[in-house]
Amino acid sequence: AQKITQTQPGMFVQEKEAVTLDCTYDTSDPSYGLFWYKQPSSGEMIFLIYQGSYDQQNATEGRYSLNFQKARKSANLVISASQLGDSAMYFCAMRGVTRGGYSTLTFGKGTMLLVSP
């Protein structure tokens, strides 16, 4: 079974500062993928960044980077230079392999990020 844990229900950050959102995971799958999604109040889940379990380097996408520490089973999202539009719910998710050989997404409970001017 897979499990994603996000221990920060809410985070506050000032505009232009960097913020780290924590994510730890548990899986027995040898191969898995880790994703971060952003959910604004409109409800749509927006893909931010992906890290494969065998990737040697940490993933980066613009202002987003993923601090992947495989031995610690953590995949923290770092947002640099926060903007007001970053205020949203953030979800860490993992895709592993089911018994049927196909993959499904498991989500954490999410972290609400509020960016203040």
Answer left, alpha or beta for residue 41, where phi above 0 means left and psi between -120 and 50 means alpha: alpha
Among 65, 76, 106, 111, binds another protein (CB under 8 A): 106
- Beta strands 111-116; 10-14: pairing state: parallel
The tokens of 48 are what? Answer: 């931010």
Least CB distance to another protein at residue 10 (A) = 13
31 touches another protein (CB under 8 A):
yes
33 binds another protein (CB under 8 A): yes
Residues numbered 39-78 forming contacts with another protein, rule: CB under 8 A: 42-47, 50, 52-53
Of 59 and 79, CB closest to another protein: 59
> Does residue number 104 form part of the binding site for another protein (CB under 8 A)?
yes
Query: Which positions lie near another protein, rule CB under 8 A?
Result: 29, 31-33, 35, 37, 42-47, 50, 52-53, 91, 95-98, 100-110
